[in-house]
Chain A
Amino acid sequence: MTTGTAREKLIRWPLMLIAVATVLGPLLWQVSTALKGAGESTVGFPGTLLPQDPTLDNFVTAFRQIPLLRYVLNSVAISAMGMATTVVLATLTGYALARIAFRGRSLYTTLLLATAVLPFEVILVSTMLVTRGLGLNDTLLGVVLPQAVSIVAIFVMRQAFLRIPNELAEAAAIDGAGPFQVFRHVMLPSVRGSLAVVTVLGFLDSWDHFIWPLVILSDPAKYPVNVGVQYLSGTFSADQRVISAAAIVVMIPPLLVYFLMQKQVFRGLSEGALKG
């Protein structure tokens, strides 16, 4: 790392601007399209990049003409459930793997590691058959349950519990605390940071899911936004302004979470990467 000399600024700044423009450009164009009135052309460069007469009509149309609100609510429900199951299951399992001696623990750990590289697409058809066999097809529960356990989250929590010094748990046990009291009052409060990371990642992951809800849901009224928006862009509306408005609505929640929880997200992701 070097300090900011004048020459460095001269080289780095323009390059950084180009990089940021490449990332933000498509998104800003989307915002611009969404704000354009019905009579305004969406093509032509650079003249029409800024909407001449900005309007929020397209957002209103998106919510009124197409069931966008329903899609958003479906996504919120799926993400909330996905986040909750990820956090709860990862915490319980991670704790057991880290601090409870039980028969088959190393076998289970190995099995988890082995399946961590298994792409979901490989078991896509079979998972659909199993989920349908359980009568869960076309239900939000059927969307959530097959992806409720995050192996990555389990290992993030396992690492967090491993870092807690033994003395802490032993002291509580000597004071007469049962295993669940130790877990609840000693262990959980010590892993708050990792819990935050797993929560944020759980939300972002669920919001991103596409292929599985696409496969298991057939009733458009149950679609999450991701599936809904592509379904709309393909079938109903040819109006790019409305689709752009809908796309922006879908992007706002993850961006909001990301910018609010930046520190946690970065810590979680880079902790994982650093030790690779």
Chain B
Amino acid sequence: MTALATEPRVRTQARRPEPPPRRRHRWFVPLLFVGPALVLQLTFLFLPLANTFVLAFTNASTIGGGTFTGLANFTELMSDTTFWHAVGRTFVYMLVAVPALVIISTCLAVLVNTRLRGTALVRPLLFSPMVLPLAVIAVVFQYLLDSDGLVNQILAGLQLVSEPVPFLSDPDLALFSLTAVTVWKGCALYTLITLAALQNVSAELDEAAQLDGAGWLRRTVGVTLPQIRGTTVMIAILAAIATLRVFTEPYIITGGGPGDSTQTIVVYLFQKGISPGTDAGYASAISLVLFVFVLTVSSISWLISRKARA
């Protein structure tokens, strides 16, 4: 979560000119500073990354062995309907969760962007899910969405339903119940980011519009929100990447079921390569496809930010 929040800054800073050259040091000085992190990254980042590209073209198992099999994994993947269903589900997840996250976060940020008394108390409460472990949130919601969980109790108490809604046991409904959990947790961070952007918006345009007699809603939609368009696009991209990687919610809450109705790309990758499967080659091929999806979404964000700058 935090990784995503700071990433855009990282990108903008990189384009700035490098700082003026500092004094030269003895050769080992930079090594002492960079060395420890570099060793860990070579071992646990660059080596595994390279290894993923190699494994994807072998029939290696996680137990060992394996020979070069060329594109066999990929041709198998092309006709693997289970995989494409997982891809489809992951994209459905994205298409539901991303708009929901963006719209709700924007509304919440506008709502708490006020000097009204009490807001200072509301904000930290509203953002608190951001720091709660997703795995534990998932355990909580497993009960919450159960047939006699809180949600069904409220619906029954308000006499909205006569039968408990099978949020997690109905194959058509389960995936959407999971997106609700993702949205509940994700809104905290994205609202915080949007609120930060809103507080940087200049008040002058708003005041001018106010003098022209525009109402609050028109000023918000027509004047304020267009000024934070960059942030809105950014949280949409961050949310899209996060939904491509979704794992914890389906793994804990539904275990990918009922049937395979909530099996997402990473759940399938996990099942093939880690547990119960041990097919490292095939899992690596899935990893690479996932990587391509993430790169596509990232390059869209890059294109948008470049266009915005031009």
Binding site for B on A (CB under 8 A): 1-4, 8-9, 12-13, 15-16, 19-20, 22-27, 29-30, 33, 42-46, 88-90, 92-93, 95-102, 105-106, 108-110, 113, 115-119, 121-131, 134, 145-152, 154-156, 158-159, 162, 166, 169, 173, 179, 201, 204-205, 207-208, 210-211, 215, 225-227, 229-230, 233, 240, 243-244, 247, 250-251, 254-255, 257-259, 262, 265-266, 268-276
B274 touches A215 (CB 8 A): yes
B157 touches A45 (CB 8 A): yes
Q: A1-B113, A155-B10 are in contact. Are A274 and B200 (CB under 8 A)?
A: yes
For A12, list chain B residues within 8 Å (CB). 111, 114, 116
By CB atoms of chain B within 10 A, which of A92, A122, A128, A179 has the most?
A122
A-B contact pairs, 9 of them (CB 8 A): A24-B125, A43-B153, A95-B33, A122-B290, A126-B47, A130-B51, A151-B3, A247-B140, A258-B128
For B1, list chain A residues within 8 Å (CB). 205, 208
For A204, list chain B residues within 8 Å (CB). 2, 131
Interface of A is mostly: helix
What's the nearest-Cβ distance from chain A to residue B11, in Å?
7
A273 touches B231 (CB 8 A): yes
For A211, list chain B residues within 8 Å (CB). 247-248, 270
Please choose the segment from B36-44, B81-89, B93-101, B169-177 that sits at the chain A interface, where 4 or more of its residues have CB less than 8 A away. Answer: B36-44
B33 touches A92 (CB 8 A): yes
Asked if B291 CB lies within 8 Å of chain A CBs, one says: yes
For A244, list chain B residues within 8 Å (CB). 140, 143
Asked if B161 CB lies within 8 Å of chain A CBs, one says: no
For A128, list chain B residues within 8 Å (CB). 62, 274
What's the nearest-Cβ distance from chain B to residue A4, in Å?
4
Partner of A130, one of B43, B119, B130, B234: B43
B55 touches A125 (CB 8 A): yes
For A97, list chain B residues within 8 Å (CB). 34
Partner of A29, one of B18, B112, B150: B150
Compute the total of residue contacts between A and B using a CB distance below 8 Å: 337
A123 touches B234 (CB 8 A): no
Please measure, in the bound complex, the distance between the C-alpha atom of A95 and the C-alpha atom of B33, giving whole angstroms.
8
B45 touches A149 (CB 8 A): yes
Please measure, in the bound complex, the distance between the C-alpha atom of A29 and the C-alpha atom of B20, giving whole angstroms.
57
Please measure, in the bound complex, the distance between the C-alpha atom of A33 and the C-alpha atom of B139, giving whole angstroms.
13
Please measure, in the bound complex, the distance between the C-alpha atom of A89 and the C-alpha atom of B38, giving whole angstroms.
9
A118 touches B157 (CB 8 A): no
Asked if B252 CB lies within 8 Å of chain A CBs, one says: yes
Partner of B62, one of A129, A210, A254: A129
B41 touches A149 (CB 8 A): yes
Please measure, in the bound complex, the distance between the C-alpha atom of A156 and the C-alpha atom of B38, giving whole angstroms.
17
What's the nearest-Cβ distance from chain B to residue A205, in Å?
6
Question: What sequence of 0s and 1s flags, for each residue 1-37 of chain B, a beta carbon within 8 Å of any chain A beta carbon?
Answer: 1110111111111100011111111000111111011
Partner of A89, one of B11, B36, B150: B36
| Docked complex: B113-139 residues within 8 A CB-CB of A | 113-119, 122, 124-136, 138-139
Partner of B5, one of A4, A106, A227, A269: A269
For B18, list chain A residues within 8 Å (CB). 106
What's the nearest-Cβ distance from chain A to residue B177, in Å?
13
B111 touches A15 (CB 8 A): yes
B131 touches A19 (CB 8 A): no
For A230, list chain B residues within 8 Å (CB). 135, 138-139, 252
B10 touches A270 (CB 8 A): no
B132 touches A270 (CB 8 A): no
Partner of A210, one of B9, B135, B197: B135
What's the nearest-Cβ distance from chain A to residue B201, in Å?
9
Q: A92-B37, A251-B133 are in contact. Are A125 and B248 (CB under 8 A)?
A: no
Q: A45-B154, A272-B5 are in contact. Are A19 and B291 (CB under 8 A)?
A: no
A270 touches B192 (CB 8 A): yes
Please measure, in the bound complex, the distance between the C-alpha atom of A13 and the C-alpha atom of B116, giving whole angstroms.
9
Interchain residue pairs A-B with the least CB separation, the first 10: A276-B8, A272-B6, A45-B153, A270-B196, A102-B30, A126-B48, A96-B33, A45-B157, A226-B135, A146-B44
For B142, list chain A residues within 8 Å (CB). 233
Other than the given A16-B112, A42-B148, A105-B30, 13 more pairs (CB < 8 A) read A2-B216, A8-B114, A23-B126, A115-B41, A129-B48, A149-B37, A150-B3, A152-B10, A240-B143, A255-B128, A271-B9, A273-B192, A275-B13
For A106, list chain B residues within 8 Å (CB). 18
For A169, list chain B residues within 8 Å (CB). 22
A116 touches B7 (CB 8 A): yes
For B49, list chain A residues within 8 Å (CB). 115, 118, 122-123, 126
Please measure, in the bound complex, the distance between the C-alpha atom of A255 and the C-alpha atom of B129, giving whole angstroms.
9
| Docked complex: B144-192 residues within 8 A CB-CB of A | 144, 148, 150, 153-154, 156-157, 184, 188-189, 192
B14 touches A113 (CB 8 A): yes
Partner of A259, one of B62, B114, B124, B288: B124
Please measure, in the bound complex, the distance between the C-alpha atom of A98 and the C-alpha atom of B16, giving whole angstroms.
12
Please measure, in the bound complex, the distance between the C-alpha atom of A208 and the C-alpha atom of B114, giving whole angstroms.
31
